[in-house]
Structure 1
Amino acid sequence: MPNIDVNGATLAYDEAGVGSPVVLLHAGIADRRMWRGQLAALAARHRVVALDLRGYGESDLPSTPFAHHDDVVGLLDALGIERAALVGCSFGGSVAIDTALAHPDRVTALALFGTAVSGYEWSAETSDLWDSLVGDVPAEDLDAMAAAEVRFWVVGPGREPADVDPDLVAFAQQMDRRALAAEAALGDVITGELDPPAVGRLGELRMPVLVQVGAADVPDIGRLAAKITAEAPAATRLPDVPDAGHLLPLEHPDRVNEALLDFLA
C-alpha cells in the first residue's frame, strides 16, 4: 500500500499498469477496496490509481481545512500526472464532477456509476423509501447504521436482501462501518465545497462523460443520471444494469470493466 503526501495529508492508494492515467474514486459508503474488480482489468491498458479519499480507508485526516476535489488534483501533481480520466461511484462520482469543474484542464473524461452531484436536493421519495426499508436507526450505532445503509443502497429498494450475494453484503457492511466512522470524524473538519455547486453547472462539463446506474438503485440516482446526460454536452448514458444496486462496479465488475475499457479507448 503506497502512501503519498497531498495538501498536508497522507493519502493511501493502489497503483497498477502503464498507459493513459485513470483515477478511481470510491463511494461514500466504501473505500478504495470497492475497485478490487477494476484495478487489474484496467491496468492492462492504463495507469490506474485507486485512492482512499481523505479520512476514508487508510488515508489520514489532519484538522486543516481541505476540499476533496483539490486533493484529487494534488494527487495528480504528486504522482506527476498532468491529466487523467476520473471514474467515480456515488460520492466519488460527485468528487469527480467537482474536480472536472474546478480543474477542467486536468480531467480528460468522466465515468460515473450511480453518481451523486453536489448541490442536489434529495427527494421526499428517498426519505420515504428509507423509512419504509430501514426505519429509525440510531446514528451512534455504527453497526446498525452500516447494516441499514447497505440494505438501502447496496441491496436497494428494487430487491430483497436474499436476492444479493451474502459475501457482497458482508464486505459492503465492513466498508461502510469504516466509512461511517470516517464521516463522523470529517464532521469536525472544515471541508470545502464547490461554489457554486455542480448541480447547476453540468453544462460546463466539456469532456466525454459516461453515465450508468443499477436498475435496483434508488430513483433519485436514475434522475441524476438523466440530468447529467441531458445537460453535459458530451455525455452518454448506458442502459441500466439489471439486478444491480448502488455499488455497481463491485457487484458487476465484468460489466463495468467492459464499459470502461470501451469508453476509455
Structure 2
Amino acid sequence: MHDHLRGAEGVRLAVRSVGDPLGFPIVFVHGWASSNRAWDGQLDDLELAARHRLIALDLRGHGSSDIPVSGYDRASTWADDIAAVLARAGGPALLVGWSYGGLVVTDYLRERGTAGVAGLVLVGALTEMGRDRPGGAIGAAWDGTMRPSLSDDPDEAVPALTTLAKRMTAAPRPGPEVQRHVGEMLSVPPAVRKALFRRDVGSADVLASVDVPTLVVHGTEDAVVAPSSAEYAVGKIPGAEMRWISSVGHLPFTERREEFNAALLEFAGSVTNH
C-alpha cells in the first residue's frame, strides 16, 4: 500500500507498508536513482511480512516522492526525512540502508544518534562521500559512466545508465529487468542525480558512536560500491557483524534473495531479543 508523509520542509515522501502492523518494524532506504521498488523481493516475502511491519520509502527526488530543488546535500534534511519515516513506524525499528541509502542512514545517525533505531543493516552501502573518503570507495562500474550518467543530454545519459545497470550484478540480468532499472534511474531528474554526488563528508566519529546491533552485508563482486567501503564500516562500528555474499554484485537482496532474506530475518530476531 502506498501512502505519503511529510519530511523535511514539508516535502511529501511516498512510503509503502506491508506486513503485520503490530510486528517489529523494518524500514528500507534505497540508493541513488532508485525507488522503494528495489525492495520488492523483501516486501513480497511472506515470512518477513508475517513477522514484521515492512516500510520502504522513496527518497526525496525519487519514485513517487516530491522533487524539491534543494536539500540533497544536507545531512539535516536527510535526517528529518528518515525521522518522519521512523515516526510512522511507531517504535524502534531496524533501519536498512542500501548503497547511497547507507549514507542517508549515516546522516540520520550524524544528526540524531540512534533515537528510534533498534538496529542497522548496511547493504552494499556508502557511509562517506568525497575524494579519499575510505567509507565512500566506489568500484569499476563507474569507469566511463560517472560523468555521462549525470548529463542532461539523453544521448550521453541513456547509454551510461544502461551500462551501469548491467554492471550492477555479477551475473547478467534479463533484458526487461535491466530496462526497467534504466527507466527508474531516468525517472530521477539529472539535477537530482548530480546533487546527490555534490557532497564531501566523513563519518568516522559517527560510525564509532553507533550503539545498536549492526549487520553489514556486501557482495564480494560489487563493482558499484567497493567491498573496502564495507570493511571500513565494520572496522568503525563497535561490534558490527560482517556478512559477505559470494559471487554477488551490488544487488545481494535480488541476486541472492532467499539468502539475504533469511539473514535479515535472523538478524531482526536477534535485535528484538537484544
Q: How does 1:86-165 map to 2 (within 5 A)?
A: 86-103=95-112, 104-121=114-131, 130-131=142-143, 134=145, 137=148, 139-142=151-154, 144-152=156-164, 155-156=167-168, 163-165=172-174
SS of residue paired to 1:36: helix
TM-score norm. by structure 2 comes to 0.79
1:147-181 superposed Cα distances (whole Å, 9 cap, x missing partner): 4245346525x958xx3332331222111111344
Give how far 1:64 is off: 6.6
SS of residue paired to 1:213: strand
CA contact (8 A) 2:234 2:242 kept: yes
Q: Are 2:185 and 1:176 aligned?
A: yes
SS of residue paired to 2:97: strand
Give how far 1:67 is off: 1.0
Q: Are 2:214 and 1:209 aligned?
A: yes
Q: Structure 1 runs of 4+ off > 6 angstroms?
A: none
**What does residue 236 of structure 1 align with?**
241
Distance across 1 between alignment mates of 2:166 and 2:101? 15
Distance across 2 between alignment mates of 1:59 and 1:73? 16
The structure 2 residue matched to 1:222, chosen from 222, 227, 236, is: 227
**What does residue 17 of structure 2 align with?**
15
CA contact (8 A) 1:82 1:106 kept: yes
Q: Are 2:73 and 1:67 aligned?
A: no
SS of residue paired to 1:263: helix
Matched AA of 1:52? D
CA contact (8 A) 1:87 1:111 kept: yes
**What does residue 54 of structure 1 align with?**
60
Task: Using CA pairs under 8 Å that are at least 6 residues apart, name the structure with larger relative contact order, 1 or 2.
Answer: 1
Q: How many residues matched? A: 254
Give how far 1:227 is off: 0.9
The structure 2 residue matched to 1:43, chosen from 41, 49, 53, is: 49
The structure-2 alpha-carbon separation of the partners of 1:207 and 1:115, relative to structure 1 and needing over 3 Å to count, comes to: same
Give how far 1:219 is off: 7.6
CA contact (8 A) 2:18 2:43 kept: yes
SS of residue paired to 1:102: helix
The answer to which of 197-206 and 223-232 deviates more is 197-206
The structure-2 alpha-carbon separation of the partners of 1:145 and 1:232, relative to structure 1 and needing over 3 Å to count, comes to: same
Distance across 2 between alignment mates of 1:63 and 1:136? 21
CA contact (8 A) 2:124 2:217 kept: yes
Distance across 2 between alignment mates of 1:106 and 1:127? 33
The structure-2 alpha-carbon separation of the partners of 1:239 and 1:174, relative to structure 1 and needing over 3 Å to count, comes to: same
- Two-structure CA RMSD over aligned residues (Å): 3.2
The structure-2 alpha-carbon separation of the partners of 1:100 and 1:45, relative to structure 1 and needing over 3 Å to count, comes to: farther
Distance across 1 between alignment mates of 2:25 and 2:44? 14
1:129-162 superposed Cα distances (whole Å, 9 cap, x missing partner): 634x558737123474254245346525x958xx
TM-score norm. by structure 1 comes to 0.82
